[in-house]
Amino acid sequence: MKNLLTVTDLSRKEVEEILNIAGRFKEERGEGIRNTNILAGKSILLYFEKPSTRTRVSLEVAILELGGHPIMVRKEELQLVRGESIADTARVLSKYVDAIIARVYKHEFLEELAKYSTIPVINALSDLYHPLQAIADVFTIKEYFGRLKGVRVAFIGDGGSNVAHSLILISALLGLDITVACPEKYSPGSTVLKKALLLAEKSGAEIKVVDDPVQAVKDADVVYTDVFVSMGFEREREERLKIFLPKYQVNRNLLKNARRRIVFMHCLPAHRGEEVASEVLDDETISLVFRQAENRLHTAKAVLAHIFGVRI
């Protein structure tokens, strides 16, 4: 049984397989072929503690297009909010559905859920990781550049965000070079960095953390950012904006420092005027954000096919 709580639950080979399958799903959908019976007879629970546009809808459509049955529940609908334990919830749900996909505040919640479930558990975003986003991101990079190895990514902003963590880990796994430019207080977690450096020894990836966004952008092919205030951190909003702005905003002025032609990426939703200026986000000559968002669907289908061990 496979869980996907973080991208390093997958091997490099498995991620590469998922990217290939996603490519085939995308091609087929382009030709109007949508429905398969890969998940026929399977029910999948979507449990969401936080809002979501892309993750929730792409997963629900992915499950339907693969012939499965999605069941969406919000946190307040389960007995968990009245004190039922995660362990008991996991044991019960395992008798009904074939997988649980969950978006949660605390990553430990997912670990506990996975510990007591006898079915796969997939992370749809936690405070620590966003693996489904990272898989769509590298799919998008590969689609655009035709390769992954040696592509140089600059992540600007909150180096401790779930999106940054998963991007660092997947880069380390697949051999992309990544420089994170962030204030020291918002550096990537030490466990993530340690793991990334270990993986990088094998893949040849270069992982750097710097303070200066100009330095990161200089040699980049991809400039990536995420919100300064992630879900669950709203109380820190004022303090964070004071530290991040104006230095870490991705705008035309910052991008002038790039020595190569860059593309811009963002997981979305964006806070225009905070981590990114509209002039960059809306510049169709460099912005891949809507392609990234579309690719969430194709890659979600590929992840599900992989989790259920379907050979395509």
Q: Which is nearer to ligand CP, 63 or 200 (CB)?
A: 63
Backbone phi, psi, residue 215, to 5°: -60, -40
Task: Give min distance, CB of 291 to ligand NVA, in A.
Answer: 16
Task: Return the structure tokens found at 88.
Answer: 């008991």
Work out what residue 53 binds among ligand CP, ligand NVA, none; the CB cut-off runs from 5 to 8 Å by kind.
ligand CP
* Contacts with ligand NVA, 109-138, as mask; x by CB under 6 A: ----------------x-------------
Rule CB under 6 A: say whether 161 interacts with ligand NVA.
yes
Residue written as token pair 């964070």 = 240
* Distance (Å, whole) CA 61 – CA 25: 13
CA distances to 39, 170, 175, 245 from 251, rounded to whole Å, are 43, 26, 27, 12
Task: Give min distance, CB of 93 to ligand NVA, in A.
Answer: 24
Task: Give min distance, CB of 273 to ligand NVA, in A.
Answer: 17
Is 152 annotated in the active site?
no
Task: Give min distance, CB of 51 to ligand NVA, in A.
Answer: 9
CA torsion, ordered 172, 178, 179, 181, to nearest 10 deg: -90
Q: Which is nearer to ligand NVA, 67 or 232 (CB)?
A: 232
The candidate with the shortest Cα–Cα distance to 230, out of 109, 123, 105, 135, is 105
Is 292 annotated in the active site?
no
Long-range contacts of 197-200 (CB under 8 A, 24+ apart): 197/172, 198/172, 199/8, 199/169, 199/172, 199/173, 200/172
From 54, 56, 266, 296, active-site residue? 296
Task: Give min distance, CB of 310 to ligand NVA, in A.
Answer: 27
* Distance (Å, whole) CA 286 – CA 130: 24
Query: Measured in Å, how far apart are the chain's first and last C-alpha atoms?
Result: 19
Interactions with ligand NVA, residue window 225-254 (CB under 6 A) = 226-227, 230-231
Q: Are 137 and 153 in contact (CB under 8 A)?
A: no
Of 66, 148, 151, 163, the residue at the interface with ligand NVA (CB under 6 A) is: 163
Contact residues toward ligand CP (CB under 6 A) are: 52-56, 125, 133, 267-269
Work out what residue 162 binds among ligand CP, ligand NVA, none; the CB cut-off runs from 5 to 8 Å by kind.
ligand NVA
Residues annotated as part of the active site? 103, 130, 133, 226, 267, 296
Give contact residues for ligand NVA (rule: CB under 6 A): 125, 161-163, 226-227, 230-231, 267
